[in-house]
A and B are shown apart, each in its own frame.
Chain A
């Protein structure tokens, strides 16, 4: 029996049959994988048949919380969406904050498993014990914000919490995402898989309680944590600027992506700085549920052609990819493009990448006006950016090709064009130029999802020596493991302001009554990461795929602080495999699997 935190049950919804089941959460599985990402990785291995088409009814989508959601544990209002990615074919997980995860717990569930495919568009309503698959024909074709509004109106309750897909998910844009109140579970195409199942949204209202094992201890941990958050020297700047404070330091180190990751300096970076954004468009600081650090920047474009545009953000990653990577230096244009991506339900990181790629291909003469529907494509061209966002979401003309992701499109063009396609395992690079911070390159090459910054970023630890590969594998393994813990319990990465792995675990103990030694925690993290690796091996991925774009490996950086550098991947990778207990081919050894309690999956190595 669970003493606290967990609700001990989850929903299994079969859209083909139109059936809803409530199943019990196995306590042994919860102790071994916690929740969120850990639990989802296990479910992907256990429940998905090998090598299925991600868009087939055989694929499943998991919407999971963990033990802490619905408590006052700082930085914990998050849910994780997992599926086999239609962008990469690998494991993928996308995480978002907001209000939805705690609401699901208050409704009495730890997670939702979606199976099959509905004949017609539907959405799911979870209203405590009442769970319904409802008609969504009237919502199909609607933007995400509109979908949330219409569902709340239909149910006459604005406190209902909704996650939904937009037109991009419906049209299976391979990097379509899941949007919740202007926040995104962003990467890997989870929204496209929802679209393939004709599932438009999941709406939740929960009126029940979340109880915890040791409330007296919890209160004292909370008092300490709030004190630590207040005292953390980074907190004031994170409250004022959110993630955008990173723009200045990243650009100074040549880390901001510039014009399809081709340069280390963006001449017009001033227009994208945190201070500029705060002054021009930010109107309010907002928090996710029960979070003491309001990093959300509610933004409003006040004048000009896009006046009235409201969104939460843009954040650092979006500014990098839709901004400097596309040669755009106007924060209002970035905000507008961000807004459109949110409304269509499309990952800003992948979108910024595919657009920058198309611009470079055009400037190199690989694409002509015939390919671009007559459009003149230049870095810094606002029209090209905004109109391509539209066309990708609607799968029109060139947009239809870009909607397949940069890997597929570059392979279609072939030859030289593949050398500047900025992805790993098919997922487009996040906002860290890997030649300027090479440990991030190792992260992009090895992350279970393909290139992903939020899988154990090493940027902070690397600032003093960003250009050398020495010692980076060790830092990366430590950080990737910490992120296993954070994504499984499920904490925000900002929990580094005031919490550490010890206090994160103390909250888990106070909430659940479970205790883990530091060694056991490391063991859990290794298990979670290795299970994801097993999934990818099973799907045919291996050492050959733990790589980076040609540009990152072989084209020396032309300018900026990392001038002349490339990513020394070959130097870092063997050390990384060894630290993980994997062999030279990147496969976990039998001994590693036995150590980690993963023997049941031994067939996949």
Chain B
């Protein structure tokens, strides 16, 4: 069990994590379909903290998890890795989970009829493996 840890001081905003996420989960490249995102503010002011320039936003695997609580089908359950996983058989794609996640870390996109979120790659998150600066750890 573990969690994705973020050190935004080290993040260089390369977005390799977003790309690796879409590569691993979808077999293609599309950063907008990744289960995490980098927010950038590259116009800092004198008083801006450097940890606020490039900031990774990741699923915190909250416990209790609002997304799981909101699910009327009980489709979101906790795996041994510590990740909350969507059961595609049970999920109807209603989107109630999407509404309650304040970070926007769960979504129902396009033609798909189920919700998608970070599953911690079965305990070996590829975003962490590929992160060049150590901003993401597990």
A contact residues vs B (CB 8 Å cutoff): 70-72, 106, 145, 181-182, 207-212, 215, 219, 222, 226, 229-230, 283-294, 296, 298, 300, 302, 307-308, 310, 312
Q: Are B46 and A290 in contact (CB under 8 A)?
A: no
B-side interface residues, number (CB < 8 Å): 27
Using A286-B54, A300-B44, A312-B42 as known contacts, say yes or no to A106 and B15 having CB atoms under 8 A apart. no
Q: Are B12 and A286 in contact (CB under 8 A)?
A: yes
A32 to B41, CA, bound (A): 40
Using A72-B20, A294-B14, A294-B132 as known contacts, say yes or no to A211 and B43 having CB atoms under 8 A apart. no
Q: Does B101 contact A (CB under 8 A)?
A: no
Using A226-B130, A312-B42 as known contacts, say yes or no to A285 and B12 having CB atoms under 8 A apart. yes
- A-B pairs with beta carbons under 8 Å apart, 15 shown: A71-B19, A72-B20, A106-B30, A106-B31, A210-B28, A215-B27, A215-B28, A283-B44, A284-B44, A286-B12, A286-B42, A287-B15, A289-B15, A290-B15, A308-B46
Q: Are A300 and B46 in contact (CB under 8 A)?
A: yes
A293 to B12, CA, bound (A): 9
The number of residue pairs between A and B whose CB atoms lie closer than 8 Å in the complex comes to 92
Q: Tell me which residues across on chain A come within 8 A of B32, comparing CB atoms.
A: 106, 207
Using A72-B29, A294-B132, A294-B133 as known contacts, say yes or no to A284 and B54 having CB atoms under 8 A apart. yes
Q: Mark B122-137, 1 if CB is under 8 A from A, else 0.
A: 0000000010110000
A526 to B27, CA, bound (A): 35
A208 to B20, CA, bound (A): 16
Q: Mark B2-35, 1 if CB is under 8 A from A, else 0.
A: 0000000000111110011001001111111100
Q: Are B23 and A219 in contact (CB under 8 A)?
A: yes
- 9 residue pairs, one from A and one from B, having the closest CB atoms: A287-B14, A294-B12, A292-B132, A210-B29, A287-B12, A209-B30, A209-B28, A72-B19, A211-B28
User: Which of A181, A182, A212 interacts with B28 by CB under 8 Å?
Assistant: A212
B contact residues vs A (CB 8 Å cutoff): 12-16, 19-20, 23, 26-33, 42-46, 50, 53-54, 130, 132-133
Q: Tell me which residues across on chain B come within 8 A of A222, comparing CB atoms.
A: 130
A305 to B13, CA, bound (A): 30
Closest to A215 in B: B27
A284 to B29, CA, bound (A): 27
Q: Are B16 and A290 in contact (CB under 8 A)?
A: yes
Using A106-B32, A286-B42 as known contacts, say yes or no to A292 and B50 having CB atoms under 8 A apart. no
Q: Tell me which residues across on chain B come within 8 A of A211, comparing CB atoms.
A: 28-29
Q: Are B44 and A298 in contact (CB under 8 A)?
A: yes
Q: Are A291 and B14 in contact (CB under 8 A)?
A: yes
Q: What distance in Å separates the Cβ of A214 from its nearest Cβ neighbour in chain B? A: 11
Q: Are B42 and A181 in contact (CB under 8 A)?
A: yes
Q: Tell me which residues across on chain B come within 8 A of A215, comparing CB atoms.
A: 23, 27-28
Q: What distance in Å separates the Cβ of A146 from its nearest Cβ neighbour in chain B? A: 11
Closest to B130 in A: A226
A222 to B132, CA, bound (A): 12
Closest to A292 in B: B132
Closest to B126 in A: A219
Q: Tell me which residues across on chain B come within 8 A of A106, comparing CB atoms.
A: 30-32
Q: Tell me which residues across on chain A come within 8 A of B53, comparing CB atoms.
A: 283-284, 286, 298
Closest to B131 in A: A292
Q: What distance in Å separates the Cβ of B97 from its nearest Cβ neighbour in chain A? A: 21
Q: Are A208 and B44 in contact (CB under 8 A)?
A: no
Q: Are A209 and B29 in contact (CB under 8 A)?
A: yes
Q: What distance in Å separates the Cβ of B51 from its nearest Cβ neighbour in chain A? A: 10
A291 to B13, CA, bound (A): 9
Q: What distance in Å separates the Cβ of A82 from its nearest Cβ neighbour in chain B? A: 25
Q: Are B16 and A292 in contact (CB under 8 A)?
A: yes
Closest to B17 in A: A290
Q: Tell me which residues across on chain A come within 8 A of B44, comparing CB atoms.
A: 283-284, 298, 300, 310
Interface centre among A106, A207, A226, A287 (most CB of B within 10 A): A287
A128 to B70, CA, bound (A): 33
A300 to B30, CA, bound (A): 32
Closest to A294 in B: B12
Using A209-B29, A210-B28, A293-B132 as known contacts, say yes or no to A310 and B19 having CB atoms under 8 A apart. no
Q: What distance in Å separates the Cβ of A81 from its nearest Cβ neighbour in chain B? A: 22
Using A208-B30, A212-B28 as known contacts, say yes or no to A308 and B45 having CB atoms under 8 A apart. yes
